[in-house]
Amino acid sequence: MRLEDGRWCLFLDYYGVPGKGQGYVPFVADSLKSGRFVRADERFSFPYGFKHGTILTITPQQYEQIKAHEFSL
C-alpha cells in the first residue's frame, strides 16, 4: 500500500511461524522501483492483532457512517 508520505509498505503475514509471533510484519520502501523493502515493525502498530485481511480506502464520510452503525445479532 502507498503511505501518506509517498513511501510503499508491504505487509508480510507471519502466521504460524514458531517463535516469530503472529500477524503482519510491515516492510517499507522509498520506491517500488528500488524494490528495497526494510522491516519497519518498530514504527507500526496494528490493532486487534490482525492476522489476515486487506486494506480498504474509505472516505471520511464513510468512516463516520461505519462508526455510527449499531450492530445487532
For residues 59 and 30, give the distance between their C-alpha atoms in angstroms, rounded to a whole number. 25
For residues 59 and 56, give the distance between their C-alpha atoms in angstroms, rounded to a whole number. 10
pLDDT (average), residues 55-64: 83
Asked if pLDDT for residue 47 goes beyond 70, the answer is no
Chain segment 10-45, per-residue pLDDT in tens: 888 776 666 655 667 889 999 999 989 998 877 766
Residue 64 Cα distances to 33, 57, 59, 68, angstroms: 36, 13, 9, 6
The pTM (predicted TM-score) of the whole model is 0.57
For residues 43 and 59, give the distance between their C-alpha atoms in angstroms, rounded to a whole number. 25
- Output the pLDDT for position 56: 73
Domain definitions of the chain by residue range: 8-68
Bigger pLDDT: 55 vs 58:
58
